[in-house]
Amino acid sequence: MSKADDKIERGSVIPIGQKSAEHVGTPITVDTVTAGTSSRRTRKIALEEFPSNLMDSKSKLIAQDIFDNLSLYRRLPTIELEADRRCYEYFTNHPDVAVSIWRAMEISQVEMSKKSKTIYETDTRDGTKGTVRVLLNTPEHYVVTCHGEFKSPAIKKPIQAIAMMHLKPQFNQSGKVTHQLDMYVSFPSSAVEALARFISPVSNRIADRNFEEISLFVEMMSVAMARQPGWIEQLTTKLDGIKPADSDELLKLTAAIYVDAVKAERTVSQKTVELEEILPPIQTAALPE
């Protein structure tokens, strides 16, 4: 890896990588179907495919304002991963739980708190704070905006930006998920916009890498739910900043996915499935030191 690549890797917000994979004892990999792009042709297609018809009037206005003042566009890599659909949709609906898990695993210091059903507040602990708003949440489309502000003693005025992300997952019967994300960014300052355009080759690579790492995280959690439910249970004791009901839902989901995984394995091996053989592994695994 070159020095430049190393800097980009270090710029990742949530460096999943090897450290996280070791927690479940299983190699975690995802496949890049198509590379990221910022081409005008792709942007035109993305705008045509944008699900405005599924949004309420307020969300439509927010999205249209970003389109009218668009500074940067990026379609992140299309990635295929192996994950139980229930696990994937849980973290789509509970991003604050995912962020809390990153902190518990010591792979990120990002904080996210849920303020309402559709509003979250974020703090990356580097001077950047933001508000995330869910504009649309369906099985095929997930659209959110993030209004962020960066403050630093080195700059006179805070740098503001608003980004909108459109996630499009596709699920198949074999347990694979293929997802794609379009990102639209608007800067209120023309000077900041000019700088952002100048450094976009670097920022695009960081965004692409972060999307890959999020994909790795989802696959890792799905594998852990199916094979190491005790590890998930121990992990939930270390979570902070989330509602108890969301933690309980995570445990119930883990149990359901684990039971289904054991039944599927026994069906393939043509062995009889006994309830007593399924339940004991829960609560037996501990978090590695």
244 CB-side CA count, 13 A: 0
Residue 175 Cα distances to 48, 49, 124, 265, 271, angstroms:
29, 25, 32, 14, 22
Per-residue pLDDT tens, the chain, 289 aa: give them: 444 444 333 334 444 444 444 445 557 889 999 999 999 999 999 999 999 999 999 999 999 999 999 999 999 999 999 999 999 999 999 999 999 999 999 988 999 999 999 999 999 888 889 999 999 999 999 999 999 987 766 667 778 899 999 999 999 988 899 999 999 999 988 877 887 887 788 889 999 999 999 999 999 999 999 999 999 999 999 999 999 999 999 999 999 999 999 988 887 766 655 555 555 444 444 444 4
Residues in the chain: 289
- In angstroms, the CA 213 to CA 94 distance is 17
- In angstroms, the CA 50 to CA 125 distance is 32
Between the two ends of the chain, the Cα-to-Cα distance in Å is: 29
| Cβ atoms of 34 and 45 closer than 8 Å | no
- In angstroms, the CA 242 to CA 111 distance is 11
The closest alpha carbon to 142, from 62, 222, 51, 78, belongs to: 51
Token digits for 112? 């996210």
Q: 91 phi and psi, to 5 degrees? A: -75, -25
The closest alpha carbon to 164, from 212, 132, 120, 121, belongs to: 132
The closest alpha carbon to 223, from 199, 251, 258, belongs to: 258
Q: Which residue has the tokens 């839902």?
A: 249
- In angstroms, the CA 205 to CA 37 distance is 10
288 CB-side CA count, 13 A: 10
Residues 152-169 have pLDDT tens digits of: 666 677 788 999 999 999
Rg (C-alpha) for the chain, rounded Å, is: 20
Give all domains of the chain, ordered by start, each with its CATH number: 8-268 (3.30.530.20)
